[in-house]
Amino acid sequence: MENPYLPCFEMIYVIVNYGIGSKVLRKAKEHGVRGGTVVLGKGTIKNALCNFLSLYDESKEIVLLGADWKTAEYALDELNRDFKFDKPNHGIAFSTGITDIIGSKCEKIDKAERGAEPMYKLITTIVNRGKAEDVIDAANEVGSKGGTIINARGSGIHETKKLFNMEIEPEKEMVLIIASTESAERIVNTIREKLELDKPGNGITFIQDVNRAYGIYE
């Protein structure tokens, strides 16, 4: 039987130009979010005339904020007013559902109460370093306009190597792509095929609903 409730917590993603992340974090705290994390990334877009994601080949900061859905909804609205994501090149902000935040309580959300189905999906792909651009290229072949690349490290059964009996964790790259609901499956299937993700150690990809979004231009 289908679960009639939505996750009552949300993860807010705010992607802005380098140097703006700390300001976003401070404002988010003023709007009720307890805390967050700022990570570095790189924006990519193949066609400078397209404003999708408002990202170009330059340094970005990704601010990750966890909150209950009411706080997240309010904070997103206020952050949009503060940073004017509706204007090109001012960044984007969006939220996805998360199951739980330990130590916090939240009211359940009825799907019927929340309203319309999500218009966008967040496609997250984690691959070995040097493969992120291949992910972007594969997605672009089927309609994606760009994404954000984050450097990371992995430690899994297929990712650990040994050098002089010491375990070495190779660097990873995480690619975030926002896509319309209609195009998400096509983009994921192309990434899966081009990057051969069914082979162990080549990477993983997963999809999340985007509950609310600001600053996305198609």
- Please report which confidence band the pLDDT of residue 56 belongs to, taking 50, 70 and 90 as the band edges: very low
Q: Which domain holds residue 62?
A: 5-117
Boundary-marking domain end, from 117, 147, 170? 117
Contact 51, 9 (CB under 8 A): no
CATH for 189: 3.30.70.120
Is the domain of 112 the same as that of 151? no
In the chain, what percentage of residues exceed pLDDT 70? 72
- Average pLDDT of the segment spanning 12-40: 94
- CA distances in angstroms from 22 to 26, 65, 96, 151, 207, listed in the order given: 6, 12, 21, 19, 27
pLDDT at 129 over 80: yes
The residue among 5, 24, 20 whose CA lies nearest residue 75 is 24
- Please report which confidence band the pLDDT of residue 163 belongs to, taking 50, 70 and 90 as the band edges: very low
Enter the pTM of the model.
0.79
Boundary-marking domain end, from 117, 146, 163? 117
Q: How far apart are CA 35 and CA 66, in angstroms?
A: 8
